[in-house]
Structure 1
Amino acid sequence: MKITEIKSCYIGPETSPEQFIAEHFFLYLAKGTVNGYDGNKNYTLKSGDYCIVRKNYLARYNKEKENEEFEKVVIILDEQFLKKIKDRHQIPISTSKPTEAFITLEKNDLIPNFIQSLSPYYNQTGAIDDTFSDIKREELVFILLKLKPELATIFFDFTIPEKINLEKFMLHNYKFNVSLERFAYLTGRSLSSFKRDFVKIFNTTPSHWLTQKRLEEAYFLIEKKDKKPSDIYLDLGFEDLSHFSFAFKKLFGFAPKKLMEQRQ
């Protein structure tokens, strides 16, 4: 079924722009490309693709326009909303549980038909009217459970992350620009316990280790992979290029631009 007049919109609570996924959300891509990364794997969504992005994961994604256009529908499936569904319905819970951050779904007419059904409910600001928001979100949940029943083990798991291997987690996720509090939470620790365990494992503080690890990776990418600082600083967890350049020079004694010149 051809989708027409799809407007970019968010349905559900606002989410943080940081790279920590605080709530599950459904992403439908109407026009464009989305490239995602969860610390272990790269994902690509094209026009007409859709997926679930899981809460309590670190992930980042960037968008590419298609013919100067980019349109998406994002529907937030927050914990409070999902708890209401679980309380109202008897939902079988599968023993199978996906492990990836981006859960892609096979193409099916149910999803495009659902996206098309949103059109009458857009208000004048291009958002879905609050009167119908939860109704349409609940409809989506049951469509998703029909297509992939094992999603129930994800949607209705309201436990906090368990204590995991800190060293392995940090080596996989050091590039993400999130707070120490987030790292602590995702490894199943309080902030004080996280800092204490971190020093035992890495023999330095988290902040110092993160900066050095990211800069060492930057050095490698510039020297060995011919990358430009402007192309890598965001992916390595730095918020701006000037801060990256300052930290790089402080650690190595010369600016990243100088390393580029030496390489040539």
Structure 2
Amino acid sequence: MRNLKFVLEYDGSRYFGFQRQKKQATIQAAFEEAASRFFNRKIKITAASGRTDTGAHAVHQVVNLKIKTFRTSDQILKGMNHFLPRDIAVRQVTEEVAGFHARYDVKDKTYEYRIWNQEVRSPLLPPDVYHFNRVLDLKAMRRAVCALTGRHDFKAFCGAQGLERGERGKRGTVRTLKKAVILKSGPFIRIRFQADGFLNHMVRNMVGTLLEVGTGKRRAGDIGKILLSGDRRHAGAAVPAKGLVLTEVRY
């Protein structure tokens, strides 16, 4: 039995997130269907590094699959990409040790939220960029994002679904945000977060709050109070999933 690790890239625009759902198109369902056709047997993945939201994207999603096969990694890479739809691609296939687990072995993940900050939208924007037409105070936003870094209880930035399931595990809603930076190139803004894990809608809720700081609706100093409150109602509204991209998973 071989333990294969797949690195996936996808445009999630037409999918209802990564995880398989009844009667809905998902990345997992598309991957398993392609794998079943390629290996000529029913295939179900062992694990994925995490679940991306409906409409969110990835350039480095990781799944692992335990299977008996004599095909080489290169043959599997080419075969899988033949059967996958055009908006999903396998970027890499490697063989891992028997105990490797795509979810439980993760050290940290990086998400990036991409914004086109200009009054007029561009018809040529790629699907992973969110158009925001109000002027932003980046200095205030950078002060605010610094307050998010470190180990905190991020309950105030957790989506309703995450709170309903209690964000299972010993950590609950506590996470360590290792890095948080805001990068700008012309009208293109990238807000990047690296953490040991993310709660349901956590990145989208943090970005929504940062945009409120940037537009003057709230102050940079409010971030600490929001974290301490543990109350989702005190944070900003979630931004759309279309600008959210999973960019790296480290083991």
TM-score, scaled to structure 1: 0.27
The structure with the greater share of residues assigned to strand is: 2
Higher-helix-fraction structure: 1
Larger Rg, first or second structure (1 or 2): 1
Q: Which has the higher contact order (CA 8 A, sep 6+)?
A: 2
